[in-house]
């Protein structure tokens, strides 16, 4: 500990970590939005799907859940030039292709887990409520929005918060393709100034504070949903 120099974090190293923290927050927020949208969509489809759509939903979820997130990040980074048309690649260039690839990969990866969380939550709701909604003429979107979704959020809120925290931590894997998030900056500080311990200590505190804040917000949301349920009852 006598050889540590914490003042390095007040200079250029601290500036780099601050820039990396902003990139981490942006990457986490965009990936989480994508994961929630795709996860809820695929979860509802897998819960209600029948016929040929059911194995497609199963394949989507199982493929994403059973391949490592780092592999998916590398896959989209190196293969997108083959999969995507040139017009799309040119449109994504101003945003930084590594950042877009990491956002897409993390959003897809966690959408597979969220889809299973949503499906499990829907299975926990008595089937009779869905059948009653059908009997009075509700469409599937109306049933999900007005009957199932309010109950679903209360059931799956704790698990969704855990998944959000996991996504935030997985953003550190984006350093593998050169995304300048906070872990990438800590490694750069280690290579350039040989102050890796100080930088790693700083990003550890950053992740602890960020993840604890998300967990606290999720807990507050769960308590509010529970109070609303008791009030309605």
Domains of the chain: 10-232 (1.10.3720.10)
> In the 3-class helix/strand/coil scheme, how is the chain assigned residue by residue?
CCCCCHHHHHCHHHHHHHHHHHHHHHHHHHHHHHHHHHHHHHHHHHHHCCCCHHHHHHHHHHHHHCCCHHHHHHHHHHHHHHHCCHHHHHHHHHHCHHHHHHHHHHHHHHHHHHHHHHHHHHHHCCHHHHHHHHHCCCCHHHHHHHHHHHHHHHHHHHHHHHHHHHHHHHHHHHHHHCCCCHHHHHHHHHHHHCCHHHHHHHHHHHHHHHHHHHHHHHHHHHHHHHHHHHHHC
In this prediction, residue 207 carries a pLDDT of 97
Range of lowest pLDDT (43-52, 60-69, 115-124): 43-52
Q: What percent of the chain has pLDDT over 70?
A: 96
- What digits encode the pLDDT tens for the residues 30-50? 999 999 999 999 998 888 866
Give mean pLDDT, residues 161-185.
Answer: 96
In this prediction, residue 229 carries a pLDDT of 59
Using pLDDT thresholds of 50, 70 and 90, give the confidence band for residue 2.
Answer: low
Q: Are 101 and 80 in contact (CB under 8 A)?
A: yes
Please give the residue that has the higher pLDDT: either 139 or 140.
Answer: 139
Range of lowest pLDDT (10-14, 28-32, 168-172, 199-203): 10-14
**Cβ neighbour number for residue 81 with a 10 Å cutoff:** 10
For residue 23, count CB atoms less than 10 angstroms from its CB and return exposed for 0-12, middle for 13-18, buried for 19 or more: buried
Using pLDDT thresholds of 50, 70 and 90, give the confidence band for residue 215.
Answer: very high
Range of lowest pLDDT (38-52, 69-83, 219-233): 219-233
pLDDT at 191 over 80: yes
């Amino acid at each position: 500990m006598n050889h540590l120099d914490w003042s390095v974090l007040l200079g250029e190293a601290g500036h780099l970590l601050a820039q990396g923290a902003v990139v981490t927050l942006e990457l986490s927020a965009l990936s989480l939005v994508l994961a929630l949208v795709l996860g809820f969509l695929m979860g509802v489809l897998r819960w209600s799907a029948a016929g040929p759509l059911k194995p497609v939903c199963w394949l989507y979820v199982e493929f994403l859940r059973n391949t490592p997130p780092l592999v998916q990040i590398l896959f989209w980074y190196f293969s997108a030039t083959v999969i995507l048309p040139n017009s799309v690649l040119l449109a994504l260039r101003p945003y930084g292709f590594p950042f877009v690839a990491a956002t897409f990969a993390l959003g897809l990866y966690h959408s597979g887990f969220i889809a299973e969380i949503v499906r499990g939550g829907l299975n926990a709701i008595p089937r009779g409520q869905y059948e009653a909604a059908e009997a009075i003429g509700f469409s599937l979107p109306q049933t999900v929005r007005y009957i199932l979704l309010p109950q679903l959020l209360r059931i799956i809120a704790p698990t969704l918060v855990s998944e959000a925290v996991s996504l935030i931590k997985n953003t550190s894997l984006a350093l593998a393709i050169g995304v300048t998030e906070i872990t990438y900056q800590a490694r750069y500080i280690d290579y350039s100034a040989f102050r890796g311990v100080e930088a790693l200590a700083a990003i550890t505190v950053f992740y602890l504070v960020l993840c604890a804040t998300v967990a606290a917000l999720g807990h507050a949301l769960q308590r509010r949903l529970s109070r609303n349920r008791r009030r309605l009852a």
